[in-house]
Amino acid sequence: MKVTTTVLETRQLVRQWKKEGKSIGLVPTMGFLHEGHASLIARARKENDIVVVSDFVNPTQFGPNEDLEAYPRDFERDSALCESLGADLIFHPEPEEMYHDPCAFVSIDTLSETLCGKTRPIHFKGVCTVVSKLFHIAAPDRAYFGQKDAQQLAIIKKMVLDLNFDVEVVGCPIVREEDGLAKSSRNTYLSAEERKAALCLSKAVKKGQELIQAGCSAEDVLAPMRAIIEAEPLSKIDYVSMVDALTMQPVEKVEKDVLVAMAVYIGKTRLIDNFSYEV
In the complex, what is the shortest distance from the CB of residue 90 to ligand PAF, in angstroms, rounded to a whole number?
13
Active site includes 37?
yes
Q: Which is nearer to ligand PAF, 149 or 194 (CB)?
A: 149
Please name every residue paired with 176 in a beta bridge, in sequence order, or none if there are none.
Answer: 182
What is the nearest approach in angstroms of ligand PAF to the Cβ of residue 101?
19
Rounded (5°) CA angle 194-200-202: 115
> How crowded is residue 193: how many other Cβ atoms within 10 Å of its Cβ?
11
- Give the residues lining the site for ligand PAF (CB under 6 A): 28-30, 58, 61, 127, 130-131, 149, 152
Give kind and range of the element (H or E) at residue 174.
none
Supply the minimum distance, in Å, between the C-beta of residue 9 and ligand PAF: 20
* Choice between 125 and 242, CB closer to ligand PAF: 125
CB of 61 to ligand PAF, least distance (A): 6
The continuous run of DSSP H or E covering 191 comes out as: none
Which residue number, 127 or 248, has a Cβ lying nearer to ligand PAF? 127
By beta-carbon proximity to ligand PAF, the closer residue of 95 and 250 is: 95
Dist CA 87 CA 51 (whole Å): 5
Alpha-carbon distance 91 to 160, whole Å?
21
Is beta strand 24-29 parallel, antiparallel or unpaired with respect to 50-55? Answer: parallel
Q: 34, 37, 92, 123: which is the annotated catalytic residue?
A: 37
Nearer to ligand PAF, 127 or 138 (CB): 127
CB of 41 to ligand PAF, least distance (A): 13
Closest CA to 204 of 237, 243, 175, 177: 237
Please give the Cα distance from 141 to 135 (Å, whole number).
9
What gap in Å lies between CA 275 and CA 167, rounded to an integer?
25
Q: Catalytic site residues?
A: 37
